[in-house]
Every structure is written in C-alpha cells, then in structure tokens.
Chains A and B, each alone.
Chain A
C-alpha cells in the first residue's frame, strides 16, 4: 500500500502518493518495470478540486501522444477539464471502469481510478522533467494556498 504526503486545508485533506511521479498539472505516473509501461491517473488534489466526475473520456487505445497533448477530459458538475499527456507514447490500455463508474476517479484516484496505460516513446529523456512526489507536494501546497487566498 502506498504511503502518502498529506496536507490539510480547512476540512480537506489532500494526499500525494509517494511511490509515483507527477506532472505539475496534477497527473500521476507509475512506471511498471516489468512491462516498461506507465500508468497514469489524477492526483488527489486535482480530483477533489474539480469535484465529482460525471463523465471521463480518454483517447482510445492506439492513440499516439506527445507530452502536453490533450489525451483525456473529465466533466464534473463544476467544470470540463482537459488533461494533458505527462509522457509521450502510445495509449495501450484505457480504464474501462470509467464508462460506467467514472466516480472511481474520486473514490480511488491512486488505485482503481487510473485513466490509461501508456507505452512511452521517450521515457529516458522525459523522466528527468517530471516531478517526484516531494516536489509535486510542494507544488500542490502552493496551489492550495492560492486557492485559499482567492476566497
């Protein structure tokens, strides 16, 4: 079971799983050593910030992505949110649970709520540009503080 960095602001607790990497946008990446693929999902802060997911659409298997390409979108009652590929490669698997139960993104963002598995095409070079958990935690803390100041 993953360990977490945690931050509480008001009544909300935001967790960052220590065992994975992150984009500044708030997507997590979990490299799978055996298959050399990368599983991708939403970090806890991003899913809480956007609210209950009503729809989640991920580009189909076979889609080729460059870093920063829009590869998925989620729609909540609050917002429509585009998600951008944190790694270049090809989508090899999409979480089928998102069709019937997209709320799994909210319920288990680091476990069953994953979005897609990507076969990376430039991981060795891109790996150094993503954030480790501690670095993302700092980014997230700053985002939370900004949100509180905007009240």
Chain B
C-alpha cells in the first residue's frame, strides 16, 4: 500500500523583472533550496506552474507551499491559490524590508549591498517558515505535538494525483461531488498514531486533510462533516475481518 508523500515544502518565487525585489525573491528562494533547507524543499517553477505544469501543480496541491513575491502584486501567491491551494505562508519582499527597517534594495540584474542584505533576511525568514510548515522547531526534528502532521518516512514510493496513484475519493458535499486526495492514507496514518473519533481528534484530522486539500472557508463546516463521515466509514471497514 502506497504511503503519503514525503513531507517537503514547495517554494514558489515570483519572476518579476522590473523591481530589484523580484531578484531578491528569486535569490532568497534559491538560497533556501540549495543551502539552508535542501532536503526539505522543492522549487516550483512559477512560469511552468501557471502554464499548466501538471507535476508542479500536483506537488503544490499535496505539499505545503510557501510563496515569495517581490511586490504587492503577489503573483506567486495568487497563482498558487488559483491553480492549487492557498499557500501555507507567503512572503512579500518589500513588506519584509519595511518590517525589518532595511534599506530598499536596488539593482535588478546585480543587487547592491542593501539587496544582498535583503536576500539574507528573506532567506532566513523563508527557512523559518519551512520549518514551521514541517512542524519543526528551528531546524530540529518534529516535536511530539506536531506528530499529527508528521507524515514523512524513509524509502517511500510516492505517487501523485495526476493519474499515477494517490487515491482520490469522491465525496458529496452540499449536494456536489468533490474530490479529496489521499483520504485513506491520511486516515490510516491518523489511526496508527492513535487518532480517535472524539471532537478534538476529528479537529486534528480535519486540519491534516486541509494540508492536502483546498477547503473553501465558507464551506469548511460541510467539508468537516464529510471528512468525519468518511473517517467513520473507514474505521468501520477497518474493524471488519
């Protein structure tokens, strides 16, 4: 039986060319991908993502994704939300620069010293967000409180939702057929970690389902009820010989 995808975080940076902040976004993302968190992160190519890249979109749907934008247009954040799901976190370089009281970066092709500093600060912030998304504390192993979200493993055969094997369950929510990915796998791991069917456990379970599935905020109650129902059916089935 295939297991859930190894937990990694997708990083999507903007492709902005007109502002130095766009260059900062890209260089910060590269720093995290190549130096700070190479085993925990995967780059999502924004152009490919927007042009319909199935692998990138599937990855962003199944893994937490953090976007890094240069400016308030927030192209990476909007694109990720539109074609996949709401980012786990979003950074905007010009906001971060203001927050940290940094000098505004300059130079689109070659950043000035202020730009280099902005890259360092953005990369550090991004690395922290990666750790948070993975339930880690500042680069340590996942805490016991985060166990419900710890779904990584060793030597996993992974499959993706674009036709290659991650289970997709059709459930009826508010009279509509909705596809939710990876439910049986989430349920199995939840049960194996001692997850029950009481209110608090079901809340934790639903939060886990939300990591892998976009849930519209206005329909959250209906989705929660559907997950509760499916989990109940799953538990009943597991009891059968």
> Hey, which bits of chain A sit against chain B, CB under 8 A?
6-13, 141, 145, 148, 151
A6 to B159, CA, bound (A): 7
A7 contacts B55, CB within 8 Å?
A: no
B38: which A residues are within 8 A, CB to CB? 151
78-108 of chain B: CB within 8 A of chain A: none
A13 contacts B42, CB within 8 Å?
A: no
> Hey, which bits of chain B sit against chain A, CB under 8 A?
5, 8, 10, 38-39, 42, 44, 54-56, 58-59, 155, 157-160, 162-165
Report the minimum CB–CB distance from B103 to chain A (whole Å). 34
Residue of A nearest to B39 (CB): A151
A11 contacts B10, CB within 8 Å?
A: yes
Question: Which of A6, A7, A10, A148 has the most chain B CB atoms closer than 10 A to its own CB?
Answer: A10
Known pairs A13-B55, A13-B164, A151-B38; A7 contacts B158 (CB<8 A): yes
B56 contacts A8, CB within 8 Å?
A: no
A86 to B202, CA, bound (A): 55
Residue from the list A7, A12, A13 in contact with B157, Cβ < 8 A: A7
A141: which B residues are within 8 A, CB to CB? 157
A11 to B42, CA, bound (A): 8
Shortest 8 CB-CB distances between A and B: which pairs? Answer: A11-B59, A6-B164, A8-B160, A11-B55, A10-B42, A151-B38, A8-B158, A151-B39
A7 to B42, CA, bound (A): 17
Report the minimum CB–CB distance from A86 to chain B (whole Å). 25
A12 to B8, CA, bound (A): 13
A12 to B42, CA, bound (A): 10
B56: which A residues are within 8 A, CB to CB? 11
A132 to B12, CA, bound (A): 38
A6 to B161, CA, bound (A): 12
A12 to B158, CA, bound (A): 10
A145 contacts B162, CB within 8 Å?
A: no
Question: Which of B8, B59, B155, B157 has the most chain A CB atoms closer than 10 A to its own CB?
Answer: B157
A145: which B residues are within 8 A, CB to CB? 155
Question: Which of B5, B42, B44, B164 has the most chain A CB atoms closer than 10 A to its own CB?
Answer: B164
Would you give 8 A-B contacts (Cβ < 8 Å), ordered by A? A7-B157, A11-B44, A11-B55, A11-B58, A11-B59, A12-B55, A13-B160, A151-B39
Known pairs A13-B55, A13-B164; A8 contacts B42 (CB<8 A): no
A7 contacts B10, CB within 8 Å?
A: no
A10 contacts B59, CB within 8 Å?
A: yes
Q: A8-B158, A151-B38 are in contact. List 17 more A-B contacts (CB 8 A).
A: A6-B159, A6-B164, A6-B165, A7-B157, A8-B160, A9-B158, A11-B10, A11-B42, A11-B44, A11-B55, A11-B56, A12-B55, A13-B54, A13-B160, A13-B162, A141-B157, A151-B39
